[in-house]
Amino acid sequence: MRVLGIETSCDETGIAVYDDTQGLLSHQLYSQVKLHADYGGVVPELASRDHVRKIVPLIKQALLEADSTQSDIDGIAFTQGPGLVGALLVGSSVGRSLAYAWGCPAVGVHHMEGHLLAPMLEDNPPEFPFVALLVSGGHTMLVEVNGIGQYLVLGESVDDAAGEAFDKTAKLLGLDYPGGPLLAKLAEQGESGIYKFPRPMTDRPGLDFSFSGLKTFAANTIRAQELTPQTKANIALAFQEAVVDTLAIKCKRAMQQTGLKRLVIAGGVSANIQLQQKLAAMMAKMGGQVFYPRQEFCTDNGAMIAYAGLQRLKAGQTIELGAKAKPRWSLEELPAVS
């Protein structure tokens, strides 16, 4: 089975072709970062319009690179939610139209399931069951994963997502949007131990997160002194260490609570090297293992959507062509794939 995957939930148009036996045949990505940078964040209307402009040329390119034509495609997978509704509508309209025109089935994929399964695209994929830490611009969640579609949310953010906290703190430090990777780069020049940021919600039981206080703490720290390039780097590092530590403390708790030995990290913030290293060291100490996708598949992409969609199409799950986009959609509502 060969599937065309379409991702348009936010500010990246991602297209890929994934084949059941041959693996990933091609993937194309167009990032709208430059378009939104002047506004300091994603402008939903501009995002939708840019997806409309880019989606068809990228599909053509992905098919060409996969040495495939429409007759080789057995199904279409598109991101049905969660995300920006206008952006989702572009991928869902194009995906369902192609399925109708090509006479093949379509399936709507949950964006966070895409992230969660992204490590399956790598050479050493995790076996079920595992715990997944999903950290993106819109979500922060710990999930017990017993199989595809068998998800139990163990904890989530009560306010800002981890990526959102990175982006907002980066903005306070004068960095461009999206600031997460730029803040991480700046933190490399920072000296550890100059500032002590709190580790929110770690002193009480439970697996929920709260990151909005860290952004306020950063704002107050920034206001309290003259900002030199070195103080900026020191603040960036202190903030990043606080987020990484907090995520690690909660991951450790989740591993102990579930008794599982495999931890998957996925979503944009899983590209953070300090987070990857901290969790790898922690899991090694606990006699377990951490799994994460290659850098380019940590952030939004079409490959993870093609992969997740293929698993569901193979199980006979398809979508009605009149189905709606789902800007809000819980992972726990998904049907199991057995």
Binding region for ligand KG4 (CB under 6 A): 10, 136-138, 163, 166-167, 178-181, 184, 267-269, 271-272, 299-300
Q: Which of Zn ion, ligand KG4, none has residue 138 at its interface (CB below 5 to 8 Å by kind)?
A: ligand KG4
Stretch of 43-51, 91-99, 201-209, 298-306 lying at the interface with Zn ion (CB under 5 A): 298-306
Comparing CB distances to ligand KG4, the nearer of 32 and 231 is: 32
Cβ count near 227 (within 10 Å): 13
Considering CB under 5 A, how many residues would be counted as binding Zn ion?
Answer: 2
**Residue 32 Cβ vs ligand KG4, minimum distance, rounded to whole Å:** 12
**Residue 168 Cβ vs ligand KG4, minimum distance, rounded to whole Å:** 9
User: Among candidates 265, 263, 264, 212, which has minimal Cα distance to 239?
Assistant: 212
Comparing CB distances to ligand KG4, the nearer of 63 and 133 is: 133
Comparing CB distances to ligand KG4, the nearer of 36 and 96 is: 36
**Residue 112 Cβ vs ligand KG4, minimum distance, rounded to whole Å:** 8
**Counting contacts by CB under 5 A, is residue 136 touching Zn ion?**
yes
Query: What's the burial of 127, exposed, middle or buried (CB within 10 Å: 0-12/13-18/19+)?
Result: exposed
Comparing CB distances to ligand KG4, the nearer of 119 and 178 is: 178
**Counting contacts by CB under 5 A, is residue 79 touching Zn ion?**
no
Q: Which of ligand KG4, Zn ion, none has residue 91 at its interface (CB below 5 to 8 Å by kind)?
A: none
Q: Which of ligand KG4, Zn ion, none has residue 208 at its interface (CB below 5 to 8 Å by kind)?
A: none
Cα 142 from Cα 122, distance rounded (Å): 21
Residue ranges with strand state E in the chain: 2-7, 12-19, 23-31, 75-81, 106-110, 130-135, 140-147, 150-156, 262-266, 289-291
Comparing CB distances to ligand KG4, the nearer of 73 and 142 is: 142
Cα 54 from Cα 49, distance rounded (Å): 9
Q: Which of Zn ion, ligand KG4, none has residue 269 at its interface (CB below 5 to 8 Å by kind)?
A: ligand KG4
Cα 317 from Cα 62, distance rounded (Å): 24
Chain positions 299 to 328 lying near Zn ion, rule: CB under 5 A, are: 300
Cα 268 from Cα 180, distance rounded (Å): 9
Cα 131 from Cα 89, distance rounded (Å): 31
Task: Please provide the DSSP assignment of 289-335 as one string.
Answer: EEE---HHHHSS-SHHHHHHHHHHHHTT----TTPPP-SS--GGGSP
Contacting positions for Zn ion (CB under 5 A)? 136, 300
